[in-house]
Amino acid sequence: MYASRLRLPVRALFAGVAILVTACSPRTSQSADSAIPVAAAAPVATNPCALEPARAGSRVLVFSRTKGFRHGSIPDGVAAVKALGAQHGFAVEATEDPTAFTDQTLGGFAAVVFMSTTGDVLDSTQQAAFERYIRGGHGFVGVHSATDTEYDWPWYGQLVGAYFKRHPAVQEAKLDVRDRTHVSTKCLPAAWTRRDEWYDFRAVPPADAKILITTDEKSYSGGQMGDVHPMAWYHAFDGGRAFYTEMGHTNESYKEQAYLDHLAGGILWAIGG
């Protein structure tokens, strides 16, 4: 039985027609603040980086089960998604219980986030339910080691877009934001320097995946994928939507405004309009 689902209280909007819109910071410096509210009187159109709220009633499931390496940043990542939900209008439930992967339970969520999962986290029955869920037009978000997950499930490999191969030590690197029109990248600078753990993948994402961000291997030590080293991408897949960001290894990521803007945008895109 799926006994571990969290019941989050409904957050009511303030009376009056005021709507809180989260402003995205284009700065790369880390901040303890997860959002900067824009005054309700200011029209959204004056802030090109404002994110539209999720459609009414949207719910997101965060799944963080690990059967391999376990990242210490998972609690911070889960808490950050909950905070982003409060800011952007989607409810969040979190679990590590794979029995949540049934048609009935998954059907209540617009998107599922794999938060630094590792190893074989679902059995064949649960995998089949998740495949039906995506084919039903729902969304998937993979964070960091979601690519270090389910190596023996080819469908999942196509969904997430790549599998982890290796990584050097955590260090600072320069990222090239190749597409700043997507909701997950429009708040970011064209050149983004930050500290994280940088994966090499076994292969680049499939041709139908739109690469949003690459890393400049000349800016750090140990990268071995060459000139096109993808760090974030998205694609339509098997009737649904899949977004992946390699970033999120460090605890500090979940206090960094630019990264939170990036993650929020990916979740909102996966939820859909």
Whole-angstrom distance, CA of residue 10 vs CA of residue 19: 16
Phi, psi for residue 86 in degrees, rounded to 5: -65, -35
pLDDT surpasses 80 at 259: yes
- For the segment 132-143, the average pLDDT, to the nearest whole number, is 98
List, for residues 200-253, the tens digit of each pLDDT value. 999 999 999 999 999 999 999 999 999 999 999 999 999 999 999 999 999 999
Task: Give the pLDDT confidence score for residue 3 in this predicted structure.
Answer: 42
Give me the chain's average pLDDT, please: 87
Rounded average pLDDT over 146-166 = 98
Does residue 3 or residue 179 have the better pLDDT? 179
Give the pLDDT mean for 61-71: 98
Q: Cα–chain-centroid distance for residue 146?
A: 10
- Does residue 39 register a pLDDT over 60? no
Contact 95, 2 (CB under 8 A): yes
Domains of the chain (ranges; CATH) run 22-271 (3.40.50.880)
The whole-number average pLDDT for the span 100-129 is: 98
Residues β-bridged to residue 210: 234
Q: Return the pLDDT at 273.
A: 75
Q: How confident is the model at residue 41 (pLDDT cuts 50, 70, 90)?
A: very low
If you compute the radius of gyration of the chain from its CA atoms, what whole number of angstroms results?
18
Say which residue, 10 or 107, is predicted with more confidence: 107
- DSSP string covering the chain, please? -------PPP-PPPSSS----EEPP---S--S-S-EEPPTTS-GGG-TTPPPPPPTT-EEEEE--BSS---TTHHHHHHHHHHHHHHHT-EEEEE--GGG-SHHHHTT-SEEEEES-BB--S-HHHHHHHHHHHHTT-EEEEEGGGGGB-TT-HHHHHHH---EEE---SEEEEEEE---SSTTTTTS-SEEEEEE---EESSPPPTTSEEEEEE-GGGSS---S-S--EEEEEEEETTEEEEEE----SGGGGG-HHHHHHHHHHHHHHH--
C-alpha 97/C-alpha 5 separation (Å) is 9
Query: Which residue bears the tokens 């990264």?
Result: 259
Q: Is beta strand 240-245 parallel, antiparallel or unpaired with respect to 139-143?
A: parallel
- pLDDT for the residue numbered 27: 39
**Token duo for residue 257:** 């405004």
Extract the tokens encoding 131.
């495949």
Distance CA 94, CA 13 (A): 23
